[in-house]
Structure 1
Amino acid sequence: MSPAAVAVRRLRSPSVSRPGIMASYVDILKSEFPQIDTELFDYITGVLDSGGADFEDAEEVFEAVGGFLQEVSADAKNEDEIRDVCLQMFNCLKLNDCHGSQQQVLLDAPVQLSQINAHTTEIRDVQGIWMMKRPQNTTVDAKKLEKAEAKLKAKHERRNEKDSQKSSTPVVLEEASASQSSSKKEGRVDQSGKNRSYDIRIENFDVSFGERVLLQGADLSLSFGRRYGLIGRNGLGKTTLLKMLSSRSLRVPAHISILHVEQEVEGDHTKALESVLQSDTVREELLQRERTLNARINAGTGDGSESARLSEIYAKLEEIEADKAPARASVILAGLGFTPRMQQQTTKEFSGGWRMRLALARALFARPDLLLLDEPTNMLDVRAILWLENYLQTWASTILVVSHDRNFLNAVVTDIVHLHTQRLDSYRGDYENFIKTKEDRLKNQQREYEAQLQYRQHIQVFIDRFRYNANRAAQVQSKLKLLEKLPELKPLEKESEVVLRFPDHFEKLSPPILQLDEVEFYYSPEQRLFTGLNLSADLDSRICIVRPHLPQTGFSPGSSWFGESLTPINGVRQAHRNLKIGYFSQHHVDQLDLNVCSVELLANKFPGRPEEEYRHQLGRYGITGELATRPVASLSGGQKSRVAFAQMTMPCPNFYVLDEPTNHLDMETIEALAKALNKFKGGVVLVSHDERLIRLVCRELWVCEGGRVTRVDGGFDEYKHILHEQFRKEGYL
């Protein structure tokens, strides 16, 4: 047998990789069919091992392998006897599935892929190991083999289709609603068109999501030309408030234009640059009228007024600087990472993340009176974030942005709107000023409450002392009236502290536990990703990887380099045999079953444990009480991230690869995440654009660009300096 076949059998054979119960069906095969052909034995054990969890009954086992067993039966077993054998093997499979779900699959010897490659010219990548052609001299009936494989394939397709239909069944979610007090005078002024102010003031309004009240009796004031950061804990209703404003469920003067960057651009044959130009509806309408009038003049069907109307249109086009629009659109796209070639690509060629960037570019180009942004930095790399910060600093109209990026808020906003305890509080200044002012305000409120409490107690002592003294009756009554008139102050309700913890019950591993030596990655010879990659990591590592978003690849350095999602073409990737990696994907929400609650999600992923254990695990990440029993689809983005953290940490990995973990998390949770990673005794590789988290956690900074990976010794400050210099050279600053 060839070295490749030996390696495949080592990896696949139950008798090697799964000790104990799993070996029993191998014994059944050997004892019942001692004359079985080696190739056929490999095939049958491979089918039973790889598809064991999919067989629903013994009949399916018989359909898969029964025909072959009848052919090789030395004592000419009849069909019923073969079915009995299949039933025994099915029972073994089910027992192993129940008892072995938590076991590790260990090889009894290392598999040398380089040796396999050297002896087998058919193998071009790791997938080729499982796709090797069967030797032509096999004793297996090829037609029956093809028939059995086709039957198995059809069965898997039916099951996948059924699972897909089940998972695609939408969860009926509650809808958000808003109500507000209003006066007839305001309504008449708005409808008459006399209201030319671009300031927005919404008073005494409520916002609910189903039966949950998010805001009650709240006030919101947005002055034209100021930039507001909307902040608050996950799940309190920040995104819902933006939706209420964009849909005008909350009354915004009709003459104020609103753009909410919420959904990605629909993919079609429109070029990216043209898609951005089309977002300026005023310019597009004027150009369309110009084309229509010119067509009438050329066709000789006009009424003679076309020339005068064209002059008006040209004057308006000149007023809005329509001739400069393509250059302005190109600058915006370039700042957000679109190369000149990408600007000429059709929108359908872009992935979802790039279409979201395109939606942001359209909003920036259209320049609405009120721009609503919900976590705009989630879709951007560090370079694009720095460009956006500089671009928004000169924004002429009003912005309301929800963001978890502390540095972005400090660079962009002029005011903070804090959503908490079903109300909105406004603060002048950036986020750092908000923190300081909020602390001072809370201290003053606490002092005021304590002073009033002491004053009340002093008055109450006088009342209690002279309550039954006739000579002091008038004074007692005066004191009682004074108590009634005092405003009732409530003690401060402190927000609960967010605490995250990554379990680290594992033994110390000798370094290096992960190592890459002169490694090359690419999807194809024409699409090379990285060359000459040299990296090493151990349990003390805190490595941050920053990189531009690579167009159309969906490439993640963390999971691809240190995991197994991408196979190195050249070089060596080595990992400690006891290494256990936990991955957090930036697209983690797509990997969650939205139709079940968080408790069911963990139970499906890690079956056989008591419900209390699932609830305890979720509680470590703030998913407690009623939150744990809600459908995952109804949770906010930050709450879904916490569920994904709970799922990732349940197997207790000793090394984490976190790809954009801060997306949708509130600032308190980001701070808690940083503390948890610093306390964690294992290794961490962080792929992130969040400057705050990088500064708090990472000791090494690696930059991916131009197919190479470079360590930046000066850390994040040096990297930002490099980007600013690039902006100056490219004319963006």
Structure 2
Amino acid sequence: MATLAEILRSEFPQLDAELFQYVTDVIDSGQSDFESEDDLFDAVGAILQDVSGDSKDDEDIRDVCQRMYMTMRMENNHAPKQNQMLLQAPIQLNQISTQYDVDPQILNVLLMKKGQSSTVNVKKLEKAEAKLKAKQGKRTERDTQKLTGPLVMEEASASQAASKKENRIENSGKNKSYDIRIENFDVSFGERVLLTGTELHLAAGRRYGLVGRNGLGKTTLLKMLASRSLRVPSHISILHVEQEVAGDDTPALQSVLECDTLRESLLSEEKMLNSRISSGNGDGSESTRLSEIYSKLEEIEADKAPARASVILAGLGFKHTMQQQMTKEFSGGWRMRLALARALFARPDLLLLDEPTNMLDVKAIIWLEDYLQTWPSTILVVSHDRNFLNAVATDIVHLHSQRLEGYRGNFESFLKTKEERLKNQHREFEAQQQYREHIQVFIDRFRYNANRASQVQSKLKLLEKLPELKPLDKESEVVLRFPDGFEKFSPPILQLDEVDFWYSSDQSIFKKLSVSADLDSRVCMVGENGAGKSTMLKLLMGELSPVQGIRHAHRNLKIGYFSQHHVDQLDMNITAVELLAKRFPGKTEEEYRHQLGSYGISGELATRSVASLSGGQKSRVAFAQMTVLCPNFYILDEPTNHLDMETIEALGKALNKFRGGIILVSHDERFIRLVCQELWVCENGGVTRIDGGFDEYRNILQEQFRKEGFL
């Protein structure tokens, strides 16, 4: 392979000794800073262009720089370490003569002023050196910022290839299809590639569940679609339920009605025309226009809109009085429900939902499942709730290995089909491997047999033409472990006896509440939002004191508490390892890493800032933090929020193996069935035990919906 010097001599024979020395000095001194051939071109391209004149254009110079860059990389990889040198500071050319024995003629060329005769364009030379210096400065600033500066959040980006035919159809306005086909696209988050060269096909009117491990890019993909960074036909309306509704003086019901912009504009125009007629300022055309407006309002069934909006709000838990409340009076969780209600009322052509069940209680989830089964347009939903996907999805899109794969059917069908695909891939892989080995045995046996030379050559060519064997792409199993802090205690372990509690005397939360749990308890608490589930957990924890009644806890009881808000309260500006060291000082880094590794936060994840982790990964960090002291009783408030399905399954298995007591609040039906043996319903200022478990509770709720006319 040619050296740098040989490339320069062959490509630029007109390069005199002084300039040759200068160019090689620039390349040698900047080797550690050149990250691509573009950097090399910025440094010396202008000089080489000036020397070559018209014999080489800009593209030719770039090709030469690419060759030199590759050669430089090869030389660096093979050079002995003792011969490598890293410059710690920029070269000061005006001081070089006093420090080193440099040929004065070369130094004159390097320090040449304007007006002196030279084959180099001095302005281009100065510009090239300025670019290199600026790049070095930025790199130094970036490295310093990594150590001491504030956290800089990465941004997502998407790119895709589009054919001229697609662009022509889109620009002509003749595309009336509501199918979405996005082909050959990439999605990145900062420097991490999430999807590459993949495709997404969404048929109009079908409901797609987007599934995949935490941190692979499901939420990012929804954002790229919502922002149209990925090309969706312009006539297709998109709504992404992502942010809560801003609080103001608008009543909740009116906030939902305002989503129908056509209805609102027609009603506003009707009001304006009637006002003009009643004031006598009309010009006679108002009556004709009013007839058109009334006809249009009748066509879109505008009179039924308030009832439809009210049904949606009621299904999502907004009682009649709440529907008249101003949006600013609601908490963040209720405003998220309001955002979902607005999206359902607006009926976009493409509805994007990201973990919609996170903000809902079991009653609202059951209503939403039934409501979406008759949804007329396309849905793409990210959800970790298997029962929700089984009830809603007609198709599954699986995100893995930086690509998307489509499956017909709900989540259970997807699992069966995926397992069958894996078996087929395994059989195909083994068959290919055996065939290759068979050919290789023949080649090895007759390699030196002159009579079989032609056959060996033929087999070698056949082996080269065989497709490359790819190992099976099977996702690793998620394993979580909750350490036992088990020791036998004499009961009672944890109980509330005849407890009354209220935040203000005019609004009682609990009256005469009596519950108890022991180290064998596996209890799930359900109930509508606002019924007092989180308050009861805090009473059990001892964070709140009863107004009347008694809380009793065994003196040796150690409670591990997980709140959905714990994830948001983690220090985002430090790494997971630093987080544990700060909370539990005195251990080695290896011990902190081992603790995090037990919950899937291993390798580089443990040394990344908490802010850069996905929601599920943050939950795992919170689990690792919660279990450091080995509690013997866990109280868990919505532990499955943000977790992917594989992690939820692993969490359920880990809790089943844990030898201690558990009380949890959850809305995930499968998780409840997996872990809990007892169901408590929090309602009407007390707790009711459901003997028939979750099946009986679901039947009770569906009967309520039918009576109230929501189903």
Classify the TM-score, shorter chain.
0.7 to 0.9
State how 1:98-497 maps to structure 2 within 5 Å. Answer: 171-497=151-477
Instruction: State the match for 2:637 in structure 1.
Output: 659
Query: Which sections of structure 2, spanning at least 5 residues, go unmatched?
Result: 1-148
Paired letter, 2:223? K
Aligned partners of 2:175 and 2:377: how far apart in 1?
17
Secondary structure at 1:228 match in 2: strand
After superposition, the Cα gap between the structure-2 partners of 1:306 and 1:473, relative to the gap in structure 1 and judged at 3 Å, is farther
Paired letter, 1:177? S
When structure 1 is superposed on structure 2, of 478-487 and 262-271 the one drifting more is 478-487
Paired letter, 1:650? V
Instruction: State the match for 2:569 in structure 1.
Output: 591
1:457 to partner: Cα distance? 1.3
Paired letter, 2:249? H
Given that residues 521 and 566 in structure 1 are in contact (C-alpha distance below 8 angstroms), is that contact kept between their aligned partners in structure 2? Answer: no
Aligned partners of 1:679 and 1:634: how far apart in 2?
31
Paired letter, 1:675? K
Given that residues 363 and 528 in structure 2 are in contact (C-alpha distance below 8 angstroms), is that contact kept between their aligned partners in structure 1? Answer: yes
Instruction: State the match for 1:713 in structure 2.
Output: 691
Aligned partners of 1:531 and 1:171: how far apart in 2?
48
Aligned partners of 1:190 and 1:254: how far apart in 2?
8
Paired letter, 1:636? S
Counterpart of 1:501 (choices 481, 492, 505) is: 481
Aligned partners of 2:501 and 2:545: how far apart in 1?
7
1:601 to partner: Cα distance? 1.4
1:628-680 per-position Cα deviation (integer Å, ceiling 9, x unaligned): 12221111111111111111111211111000000010011001111111111
Given that residues 559 and 583 in structure 1 are in contact (C-alpha distance below 8 angstroms), is that contact kept between their aligned partners in structure 2? Answer: no
Given that residues 369 and 392 in structure 2 are in contact (C-alpha distance below 8 angstroms), is that contact kept between their aligned partners in structure 1? Answer: yes
Aligned partners of 1:695 and 1:427: how far apart in 2?
26
Instruction: State the match for 1:699 in structure 2.
Output: 677
Instruction: State the match for 1:637 in structure 2.
Output: 615
Aligned partners of 1:333 and 1:227: how far apart in 2?
22
1:352 to partner: Cα distance? 0.3
When structure 1 is superposed on structure 2, of 284-293 and 509-518 the one drifting more is 284-293
Aligned partners of 2:447 and 2:268: how far apart in 1?
85
Paired letter, 2:559? I
Counterpart of 1:668 (choices 611, 631, 646) is: 646
1:573 to partner: Cα distance? 1.2
Secondary structure at 2:515 match in 1: strand
Given that residues 382 and 546 in structure 1 are in contact (C-alpha distance below 8 angstroms), is that contact kept between their aligned partners in structure 2? Answer: yes
Aligned partners of 1:300 and 1:280: how far apart in 2?
31
1:691-729 per-position Cα deviation (integer Å, ceiling 9, x unaligned): 111111111111011112100000001111111111111
1:384 to partner: Cα distance? 0.2
Secondary structure at 1:520 match in 2: strand
Aligned partners of 2:573 and 2:394: how far apart in 1?
40
1:524 to partner: Cα distance? 1.8
Paired letter, 1:540? D
Instruction: State the match for 1:679 in structure 2.
Output: 657
1:416 to partner: Cα distance? 0.4
Aligned partners of 1:568 and 1:666: how far apart in 2?
37
Counterpart of 2:560 (choices 582, 595, 599) is: 582
Aligned partners of 2:292 and 2:172: how far apart in 1?
27
Paired letter, 2:545? T
Secondary structure at 1:578 match in 2: coil
Secondary structure at 2:397 match in 1: strand
Aligned partners of 1:728 and 1:312: how far apart in 2?
38
Secondary structure at 1:589 match in 2: coil
Aligned partners of 1:730 and 1:676: how far apart in 2?
40
Given that residues 511 and 537 in structure 1 are in contact (C-alpha distance below 8 angstroms), is that contact kept between their aligned partners in structure 2? Answer: no
Aligned partners of 1:300 and 1:626: how far apart in 2?
75
Aligned partners of 1:313 and 1:640: how far apart in 2?
53
When structure 1 is superposed on structure 2, of 606-615 and 463-472 the one drifting more is 463-472
Q: Which runs of 4+ in 1 moved over 4 A?
A: none
1:441 to partner: Cα distance? 0.3
1:12-71 per-position Cα deviation (integer Å, ceiling 9, x unaligned): xxxxxxxxxxxxxxxxxxxxxxxxxxxxxxxxxxxxxxxxxxxxxxxxxxxxxxxxxxxx
Paired letter, 1:652? C
1:360 to partner: Cα distance? 0.3
Aligned partners of 1:677 and 1:300: how far apart in 2?
75
1:340 to partner: Cα distance? 0.3
When structure 1 is superposed on structure 2, of 558-567 and 325-334 the one drifting more is 558-567
When structure 1 is superposed on structure 2, of 472-481 and 701-710 the one drifting more is 472-481
Instruction: State the match for 1:23 in structure 2.
Output: none
Aligned partners of 2:485 and 2:249: how far apart in 1?
54
1:506 to partner: Cα distance? 4.5
1:311 to partner: Cα distance? 2.0
Aligned length: 563
Instruction: State the match for 1:688 in structure 2.
Output: 666
1:564-609 per-position Cα deviation (integer Å, ceiling 9, x unaligned): 2322122221110111111111222222111222112112211232
Identity %, equivalent residues: 78
Instruction: State the match for 1:569 in structure 2.
Output: 547
1:487-534 per-position Cα deviation (integer Å, ceiling 9, x unaligned): 223110321111111111443222221012221222122111122222
Aligned partners of 2:602 and 2:536: how far apart in 1?
30
1:485 to partner: Cα distance? 2.9
Aligned partners of 1:395 and 1:590: how far apart in 2?
33
Q: Does 1:529 align with 2:509?
A: yes
Aligned partners of 1:324 and 1:235: how far apart in 2?
43
Given that residues 251 and 326 in structure 2 are in contact (C-alpha distance below 8 angstroms), is that contact kept between their aligned partners in structure 1? Answer: yes
Paired letter, 1:571? G
1:558 to partner: Cα distance? 4.8
Paired letter, 1:556? S
Instruction: State the match for 2:626 in structure 1.
Output: 648
Query: Which sections of structure 1, spanning at least 5 residues, go unmatched?
Result: 1-168
Aligned partners of 2:544 and 2:150: how far apart in 1?
33
Aligned partners of 2:653 and 2:594: how far apart in 1?
20
Given that residues 314 and 320 in structure 2 are in contact (C-alpha distance below 8 angstroms), is that contact kept between their aligned partners in structure 1? Answer: yes
Instruction: State the match for 1:542 in structure 2.
Output: 522
Aligned partners of 1:170 and 1:532: how far apart in 2?
51
Paired letter, 2:637? D
Aligned partners of 2:459 and 2:293: how far apart in 1?
75
Given that residues 393 and 412 in structure 1 are in contact (C-alpha distance below 8 angstroms), is that contact kept between their aligned partners in structure 2? Answer: yes
Aligned partners of 1:501 and 1:480: how far apart in 2?
51
Aligned partners of 1:370 and 1:452: how far apart in 2?
43
RMSD: 1.6
Aligned partners of 1:700 and 1:220: how far apart in 2?
43
Secondary structure at 1:265 match in 2: coil
Aligned partners of 1:287 and 1:685: how far apart in 2?
52
Aligned partners of 1:581 and 1:558: how far apart in 2?
15
